Amino acid sequence: MSKHSARFKRSVVDSYLCGDESYASAASKRGVDAATVRKWVALYQAHGDAGLSRKYGRYDVAFKLSVLERMWKDGLSHRQTATLFNIRNSGCLTGWEKHYHAGGIEALGPRPRGRPMSKPPAPAVPVAASDEAKSREELLAELKQLRMENAYLKKLRALTQEHAPKKRKPSKR
């Protein structure tokens, strides 16, 4: 969301276009950056008042591709291209270009929104068969493995408690 109204932007643009002020002086008097004033002036000159108003929207694949092709064909910068096509954030062109070079036209399509759905964790030990289907030797080997893990964890707990700092009783002063 823009923190400046269209009326404020228009007043800054008008003060620059009157010839009384430079980008830097118009910006410093109103507490904005000179590059922002330059962007507002370019948007106003290209699109009129519509260039200064808020703009919400998404761009489809065909539009993104046409913007990139025009930028490459005419050798325009990202800022010039954004101004020409009335795109508020010229930084998104960098992302579009990167996606296009990485994955072609399909990469310019819409991406899923929100956090990715978590997948259930894969079982640590592959489940081959139920206990009834296992042979006696397989069950004994599994029992031996589980007993070793249990003994290891007990020993680890005892060692960590042995080296843990002992809690002191508060003094009764």
Q: What is the pLDDT of residues 76-126, one digit of tens each?
A: 999 889 888 888 788 889 999 999 998 888 888 887 788 877 777 776 665
Quick one: DSSP state of residue 19? T
Could you identify the residue written with the tokens 């990485």? 102
- How far does Cα 82 stand from its chain's mean position? 20
- pLDDT above 80 for 56: no
pLDDT digits (tens, 9 = 90+) for 17-40: 887 788 888 888 888 888 888 888
Provide the pLDDT for residue 1: 44
Three-state SS at 48:
helix
Q: What is the DSSP string of 81-99?
A: HHHHTT-S-THHHHHHHHH
67 phi-psi bin (left φ>0, alpha ψ -120 to 50, beta other): alpha
Distance CA 84, CA 78 (A): 10
Nearest to 105 by CA among 58, 141, 48, 62: 62
- How far does Cα 49 stand from its chain's mean position? 31
Query: Residue 43: how many CB atoms within 10 A of its CB?
Result: 23
- pLDDT above 80 for 164: no
Q: Which two tokens stand for residue 16?
A: 């620059």
Three-state SS at 107:
helix
Provide the pLDDT for residue 173: 67
Predicted TM-score of the model (pTM):
0.49
Question: Please, is 121 exposed, middle or buried when counting C-beta atoms within 10 Å of its C-beta (0-12, 13-18, 19+)?
Answer: exposed
Q: Where are the domains of the chain?
A: 1-54, 57-110, 131-163
